[in-house]
């Protein structure tokens, strides 16, 4: 059985992330979307809020589970009996960082493979930071994120300004 883990901070999940998820479930038997709890990034949403938004966004997809994790990714992958790590890339600029991570993970867990998926070109510029900035300026993010994320960001930023 091919079980893959797609890790990230997902703060928040974007349509680019969903593109990777939908393409991954075609090639694996099960996908675990792994929300990083102790990411070095400061997050706008808690790990539980991020996981809940992902669950809502993928509710119609089969063979996808959303879990939170802390610690080493390779430990989480092994614990969940997975054998593949999925990493999304938007552009060549992501490659250096992502390849370093993949090589480190391979050193820690030689039995785990990393697969890089390049997002569709229409999402190649998209990341969570851009989404948060546009939302904070009351811009239209409806084409960038799932509806649940759009609602949460509008509520969050509207309530902060009130």
Residues of the binding site: 9-10, 17, 41, 73, 87-90, 98, 123-129
Taking alpha carbons only, the member of 37, 116, 30 closest to residue 81 is 30
Bind-site residues for ATP: 9-10, 17, 88-90, 98, 123-129
User: Pick the catalytic residue: 23, 55, 78, 90?
Assistant: 90
Q: In 26-109, which ranges are continuous DSSP H helix? A: 47-57, 73-79, 95-108
50, 128, 132, 152: the catalytic one is 128
Residue 56, φ and ψ in degrees, nearest 5:
-65, -40
Identify the active-site residue in 2, 22, 41, 97: 41
Per-residue b or e along 148-162, where b marks 16 or more CB atoms closer than 10 Å to that residue's CB: bbbebbeebbeeeee
**Angle at CA 41, nearest 5°, toward 35 and 42?**
100
State the Cα–Cα distance between residues 110 and 88, nearest whole angstrom: 20
Instruction: Name the active-site residue from 17, 50, 132, 152.
Output: 17
106 half-sphere exposure, CB direction, 13 A CA radius: 9
- Please confirm, yes or no, whether 59 is among the known catalytic residues: no
Q: Is residue 128 annotated as a catalytic residue, yes or no?
A: yes
Query: For this structure, is 78 an active site residue?
Result: no
* Structure-block tokens of residue 120: 């569709």
Residue numbering of the annotated binding site for substrate: 9, 41, 73, 87
Is 79 an active-site residue? no
Active site residues: 17, 41, 90, 128
């Amino acid at each position: 059985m091919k079980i893959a883990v797609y890790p990230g901070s997902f703060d928040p999940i974007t349509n680019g992330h969903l593109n990777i998820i939908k393409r991954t479930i075609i090639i694996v038997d099960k996908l675990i979307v792994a929300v990083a709890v102790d990411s070095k990034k400061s997050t706008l949403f808690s790990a539980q809020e991020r996981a809940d938004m992902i669950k809502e966004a993928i509710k119609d997809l089969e063979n996808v589970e959303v879990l939170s994790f802390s610690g080493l990714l390779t430990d989480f992958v092994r614990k969940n009996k997975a054998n593949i790590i999925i990493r999304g890339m938007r552009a060549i600029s992501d490659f250096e960082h992502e390849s370093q991570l993949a090589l480190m993970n391979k050193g820690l867990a030689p039995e785990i493979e990393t697969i890089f998926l390049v997002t569709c070109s229409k999402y190649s510029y998209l990341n969570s930071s851009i989404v948060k900035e546009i939302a904070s300026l009351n811009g239209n993010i409806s084409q960038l994120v799932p509806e649940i994320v759009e609602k949460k960001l509008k509520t969050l930023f509207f309530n902060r300004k009130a």
